[in-house]
Amino acid sequence: MKIAVVGCGHVGLVTGACLAQLGHQVIGADDDPQKIDVLLRGRVPIFEPHLDDLVSENMRRGRLRFTGDVAAASQDSDVIFICVGTPPLENGEADLSGIDKLARTVATQCRGHKLVVEKSTVPVRTGQELERILQVYGARSGFAHEVASNPEFLREGRAIEDFFHPDRIVIGASSEEARKTLEGLYRPILEQKFNCPVHSPCPQAPRPLLLATNIPTAELIKHASNSFLALKISYINALADLCEIFGADVTMLAEGMGSDRRIGRDFLRPGIGFGGFCLPKDIQAFVRLAERGGYDFALLREVEKINQRRIDHFVEKVRSALWVIADKQIAILGLAFKPDTDDIRFSPALAVISRLLEQKARLKVFDPKAMERTQPFFPQLTYCRDAYEAAEGSEALLLATEWEEFRSLDWSKIRDSMARPLLLDGRNFFVPKEMAALGFEYHSIGRPDTR
């Protein structure tokens, strides 16, 4: 199969590199010349564990190429994956102009038959619009097409593993032929005849479920899934607040709830809220979409509100511990919206930073991967070489992103170098008793404080 993957952001690069690894001929296309330039020089413009190896290996084997010419890449392929961005508009709806532009290019520039696959997260009925645009603009050029929806469920930081070991592969198609083509692309994964390049051999995992649906159902599955994950996080965060009021411990509460298989343990980690370029924007887009259909999705609006309040709640904890924030030197560990990524989009860590800067704090920060991306937005921060430099002389240390490497820091050294051994853990990353034993005044989320 010759495949074009249009849009070389996180989803496009992971999809393209992994499809190439399965043995398909893939061309990644993007109209951002800078991005293509970086890729052609053998570098990957984002940090995603194992992605650079996968890209370079498949480029070397001639299965993965890149181009800035979207039309040529589409012409030369049987299947076109749409992986262009759908960023939020000011009203929260998804901006679909990238998809519209691509559809017009494909329809006017391509001949023969193409399967056009939505991979980007899109509102329900995008497939219908895509079909219409391809029809209208392709009518004169002898272009035949089919549309399918094949949403991605890739977590940043774990995307390669998620691609090769999905829980499910959703194929929304209006024809048997389109479904079969996509199923064929994923067969090695569906039949587990493929080891993912991250683990060798791969741990035994249940076979992924293949779910063949119509296009609107596939589109809705994506938004419904991300919104449900967001709902779970806001639920545990609301419970964490209740725990603080009533002196309970949210960790044990989550354990007690999550051990019920119907509820499950995942996504019950309380903290400073969900961020990133998926959950916050998808939930907003889903609410707006429902509104358009005449449905007030009050449940999800509340999920969003609870998430926004996380930042105030945490900053208030900082204020209450420090009494006065103004002019205090505070260390922040973690800038990325979650560990194992350099992505800072809608990062709760940055929301906390903004709020502390408003209150005139002096901030020293460290993140293993996200400093370069943060610098242009927050030039006034002191960027440190490591956590030790950030902690030195600080009145408080805030953990905003739970990078695993923070666990093995020499916390006694950190305690001794701080002006005051005050640790505010925004991700419940540490065990309160252990931090208290080390001599920290320790505050976390939904758990009794220790001092």
Residues within the interface to ligand UGA (CB under 6 A):
121, 152-156, 226, 229, 233, 267-269, 271, 274-276, 278-279, 337-338
Q: Measured from the CB atom, is 67 or 307 closer to ligand UGA?
A: 307
* Beta carbon of residue 116, minimum distance to ligand UGA (angstroms, whole number): 20
Cα-based torsion angle of the residue sequence 264, 266, 270, 271 in order, rounded to the nearest 10 degrees? -170
Q: Cβ–Cβ contacts within 10 Å for residue 269, how many? A: 19
3-state secondary structure of 119: coil
Q: Measured from the CB atom, is 114 or 338 closer to ligand UGA?
A: 338
Question: How many whole angstroms separate alpha carbon 443 and alpha carbon 421?
Answer: 11
Q: Measured from the CB atom, is 150 or 226 closer to ligand UGA?
A: 226
Q: Measured from the CB atom, is 70 or 154 closer to ligand UGA?
A: 154
How would you write 240-262 as a 3-class SS string?
Answer: HHHHHHHCCCHHHHHHHHHCCCC
Q: Cβ–Cβ contacts within 10 Å for residue 281, how many? A: 22
* Beta carbon of residue 32, minimum distance to ligand UGA (angstroms, whole number): 19
3-state secondary structure of 104: helix
Report the amino acid identity of residue 208.
P
Confirm if 27 and 65 have CB atoms less than 8 A apart: yes
Confirm if 328 and 395 have CB atoms less than 8 A apart: yes
Question: How many whole angstroms separate alpha carbon 250 and alpha carbon 269?
Answer: 9
Q: Measured from the CB atom, is 152 or 395 closer to ligand UGA?
A: 152
* Beta carbon of residue 198, minimum distance to ligand UGA (angstroms, whole number): 16
Q: Measured from the CB atom, is 114 or 269 closer to ligand UGA?
A: 269
* Beta carbon of residue 221, minimum distance to ligand UGA (angstroms, whole number): 11
Spell out the residues 6+ positions from residue 61 whose beta carbon is closer than 8 angstroms to its own.
20
Reference 307, options 348, 344, 357, 266; nearest CA is 348
Is 278 designated active site?
Answer: yes
* Beta carbon of residue 232, minimum distance to ligand UGA (angstroms, whole number): 7
Q: Measured from the CB atom, is 152 or 244 closer to ligand UGA?
A: 152
3-state secondary structure of 331: strand
Question: How many whole angstroms separate alpha carbon 257 and alpha carbon 417?
Answer: 40
Reference 335, options 366, 290, 360; nearest CA is 366
* Beta carbon of residue 402, minimum distance to ligand UGA (angstroms, whole number): 8
* Beta carbon of residue 233, minimum distance to ligand UGA (angstroms, whole number): 4
Catalytic position from the list 8, 196, 278, 384: 278
| Beta partners for residue 3, in sequence order | 26, 79
Helix (H) or strand (E) segment spanning residue 172: strand 168-173
For 63, the token pair is 């299965």
* Beta carbon of residue 279, minimum distance to ligand UGA (angstroms, whole number): 5
Laid out side by side, the sheet with 396-399 consists of 382-383, 362-366, 329-333, 396-399, 422-425, 441-443
Cβ burial, residue 72 (10 Å; 0-12/13-18/19+): middle
**So which residues are the catalytic ones?**
278
